[in-house]
Amino acid sequence: MTTTTAAGTLTLGDKTFNRLGYGTMQLPGSGVWGPSADPENARRVLAKAVDLGINVFDAADAYGPFTSNLLMRDTFAPYQGNYKNIFISTKVGQTRQGPNLWTPDGRPDYLRQQVELNLRTLGVDSIDLLFLHRIDPKIPLEDQLGELKKMQDEGKIKHLGLSQVKIPELQAAEKIAHIDAVQNLYNVTDRSDEDVLDYAEQHKIVFVPWFPLATGKLANEGSVLKKIADKYQASPAQIALAWLLKRSPMMLPIPGTANLDHLAQNVAATAIKLSDNDFQAIANLK
């Protein structure tokens, strides 16, 4: 059975974790809204992920809201035994008004409230990694990140990250607090944030690509990606994941699924070692 140990590791603070995580965005209902359609299956998937070596779980207060957090608490708490070394990242700064509706809110008192609710719904005393889900353009960044830095100083947050940012925003944030991770859209079909990834690698910042398995037209029959997938007896999505892992040692993909078979396929991708030529052929795709 393939486990995520093949992907290598990353370390933040006192925790070392395998370089393939699990994103919980698909566990709530349609539109990332409401309860899971099958909570029992969701808990099975979470537990199986740990069995397969996944020890990084990425969530957000906005997923549900709180659906993913509560499912993780039900599955993992009190975080002992097989669940002792789980590393949890979550996010604050997005409000929800309904399915597929997201509105940034960076008011310091709101961010503090949401961190406290994350702690409660996850059943933890401190959050391993807390992302500002989106920078609210209506609120000064120093007020938003400054409040999260206060909570870090209080011991409620261990590491801070930013989501969907450009380099100037990241550099401005670094003047306020130490930034350990960035979570941006990045995959084989959308590499518009290549410069952010390069910056993260140069500064030893963990880069978490969301929507990592996107292949789009690149996976069509006869395409370069499909031919490479056939060569490795893998799916295009598995090759896309293997490509991300080879792209940077700071890369931490977090593919999500509510399907046990898909979960196993994602983990199996960590055993695929692309040749330099195949890696470059995919890198050259547009």
Task: Compute the half-sphere exposure of residue 174: CA atoms within 13 Å on the CB side of its CA.
Answer: 15
| Of 144, 199, 150, 202, the residue nearest 173 (C-alpha) | 144
Q: Which residues are catalytic?
A: 63
Which pair of tokens denotes residue 138? 């209506």
Give residue for tokens 């503090």: 112
| Of 62, 79, 75, 74, the residue nearest 15 (C-alpha) | 79
d(CA 66, CA 173): 26
Cβ count within 10 A of residue 192: 9
d(CA 252, CA 206): 7
If phi > 0 it is left, if psi is from -120 to 50 it is alpha, else beta; for residue 66 that is left
Alpha-carbon dihedral sign for residues 132, 122, 12, 17: negative
Cβ count within 10 A of residue 275: 12
